[in-house]
Amino acid sequence: MRRFICPALVVLSAVFTSGCVFNIGGTVGRCCPDKAPPAAPKPEYQRAVEAVYPALVRLEVVRPEFRSGREVRGQTSGSGVIISPEGHIVTNHHVAGRATQVVAVLPDKEEVRARRIGTDPMTDICVLKLEGDRTYPYARWGDSSEVKVGDTVLAMGSPGALSQSVTAGIASNVDLVLPDFYRRVWVDDEDVGALVKWIAHDAAIFPGNSGGPLVNLEGEIVGINEIGLGLGAAIPANLARQVVDEILRRGQPERSQIGIVVQPMLEGLGRRSGVFVGGVLPDSPAEQGGLLPGDIILSYAGQSVTVRFAEDLPDLNRLIAATPVGDRVRVVVERDGEQKTLTLRTQLREPARAEQRELTHWGMAARDITETRARWMRRESTDGAVVTSLRSGGPAATAKPAISSGDIIIAVNGHPITSTQDLIRYTNRIVEGQDEQVPVLVDFERGRQRWLTLVKVGVEDLPTRVPEVRRAWLQASTQVLTADLAEALDLEGVTGVRLTEIFDGGNADRAGLQVGDIVTAVEGEAVRAVRPEDDDVFPAMIRRLRVGAEAAFSVIRDGEEKEIAVELVRSPMAPREMERFRRMDFGFSARDISEEDMRRRRLEEDAAGPVITDIESGSLAEVGGLRSGDIVLRIDGRPVPTIAELKNIMADIEAEEPDRLVFFVRRGIITVFVEMETPWTEDEEGT
């Protein structure tokens, strides 16, 4: 679509942006008559930028996503800030908390790999560490409790995955909470707002700023940017630093819970102090300690508590969470006008959601049942594996009755399933050494019902390629001589095919056929091809003849008719007939080079190596940069001349379980190295 720009607007634009005199309707004026040059950066801004900018990093992240029963890789980016000379980075959990690969781009454009130390979805904080034994520039923490509304703040990060940048604004709100009618901030099924009261600010932030620091004019980190709501919102530095310290000390924060639902004080109660208990979870410390809905908590562990407004809830939640796990806590409540002292024993608060795992042999993804999830499901146990998604046409989806998302697998062949890992281990025992899928009896829960089904587990091999009978073949390519084309060539009424390619050194070449020849008959039989869809008429005529026979071709060349004898050869194996090798865990399929590949791609006669035929979306191969059509020459330095050798090498690699593989491939007229993760890559927290 062409855009129309009014010439007058162009002129006016030029005038108004040039600072020149202008004349409109007889009125003379001057645009920006005394326009000053751009002001120099404010010194206080500059000091803050110089203190933090060298520690600002852009994070390029690969993380798993689960779709249709498959684990695929997604690529994203975010921001972070180095907080120690050893290279520790703080960022958001939603940026790198589930990453399998992280590369940090430093301000000088150097790229350094980073590994995850620990992560906390409840506060959306993640800690990484740069690889290598060296010293890095780092930024210092500030006291976020000293930030006041109206204070100048700087937001630093990498918006839109671009280079590090800085924007300025003011603190707009220092205890921002999101009301229930607004969108909540959920990360891995955790309500971040249960613990976090954000610092809101109007410094411009965009996607990609997540995890970057909010900085005061002293050059100190006072927040970690997390969300944009028109206003930006940052996790206060005091909370972020506390979480970071716990991660560095023990790998992840440890929090207590007592199992209550609290809400701001009801107006009708006429109270200005205390905490109103809206609900008590079954079998929780609160229920066991005698706490009841409607109670008003006056103090917790000797500390007076009050929740009058939504802004007060995170303070109470943090107080309870900070109690040592297993401590006996005195809670003073008011019930029916009387005060009572109860004793509760806190318990560990586990994550709300377990990580998903792909079960290739089942064609599905599943996760464990956490204590929190079990309580909401009113289950007495966390045993089992919850199905989260299924691959269409996979073993679980085609069982009768089929397994569905949300079902809980509790037993296989009578073997109790306690977790997703247990299901994976037991499945591996079943399919080990099996060339075909193995039927297993599956016991699963669907709501309050218990079902049985039969599932054929195992990876279904690619369909066996049955070679076609090798028949007679002309080593040339053709196009149908349509009526319009014949008329244009002054051959009106003639039917046949036109030769478009003669294969070098082939039987057509040796017989003297040429590009442009019109073949009208073979062995005296007319070639009755007149429409584009008749493209198989001529090859079918050739296939009916005997391999090795000398066939007479009637051709028209430059208006003259000729008779040319051609010795027919046996047709080669077509690419569709060739054996394919598939690695579902890497997400690629391959086959040997065919004669058609050699011809179409003009490869050398000694060209060798498997051709990549398919790359699955989101797979390790795709994320690593392998492409369909690549010819694999070497893997980790080992030559790969054939598909058989590719199988052997991949089997050896599976036994070795390296973290990364390097494929050396031919791509068109160039060669490239492709590095990819492996399914065995570990990025354990605390390792």
Q: Has 210 been annotated as catalytic?
A: yes
Q: Residue type at 487?
A: E
Residue among 120, 124, 188, 592 flagged as catalytic:
124
C-alpha angle 188/190/192, rounded to 5°?
115
Residues in the chain, overall count: 687
- Contact 589/576 with Cβ under 8 angstroms? no
Instruction: Give the whole-angstrom CA distance, residue 250 versus residue 93.
Output: 17
- Contact 56/157 with Cβ under 8 angstroms? yes
Residue among 77, 144, 172, 210 flagged as catalytic:
210
Q: How many CB atoms lie within 10 A of CB 574?
A: 13
Q: Give one word for 294, left, alpha or beta, with left for phi > 0 and alpha for psi -120 to 50.
A: left
- Contact 286/300 with Cβ under 8 angstroms? no
Output the DSSP codes for 593-619.
PPHHHHHHTT--TT--SPEEEEE-TT-
- Phi, psi at 479, each rounded to 5°: -135, 150
What's 466-477 look like in SS3? Answer: CCCCCCEECCEE
Q: Has 619 been annotated as catalytic?
A: no
Instruction: Give the whole-angstrom CA distance, residue 1 versus residue 427.
Output: 57
Residues 6 or more apart whose CB falls under 8 angstroms from that of 224 comprise 81, 90, 91, 92, 125, 211, 212, 213, 214, 234, 235, 237, 240
Strands 408-412 and 438-446: antiparallel
- Contact 305/298 with Cβ under 8 angstroms? yes
SS3 538: helix
H or E element that contains 89: strand 88-91
- Phi, psi at 668, each rounded to 5°: 65, -125
Tokens of 61: 């992240």
Q: How many CB atoms lie within 10 A of CB 57?
A: 30
Instruction: Give the whole-angstrom CA distance, residue 391 versus residue 413.
Output: 22
Instruction: Give the whole-angstrom CA distance, residue 2 versus residue 175.
Output: 49
Residue among 79, 84, 88, 94 flagged as catalytic:
94
Per the DSSP assignment, residues forming a β-bridge with 21 are 30
Active centre residues (catalytic): 94, 124, 210
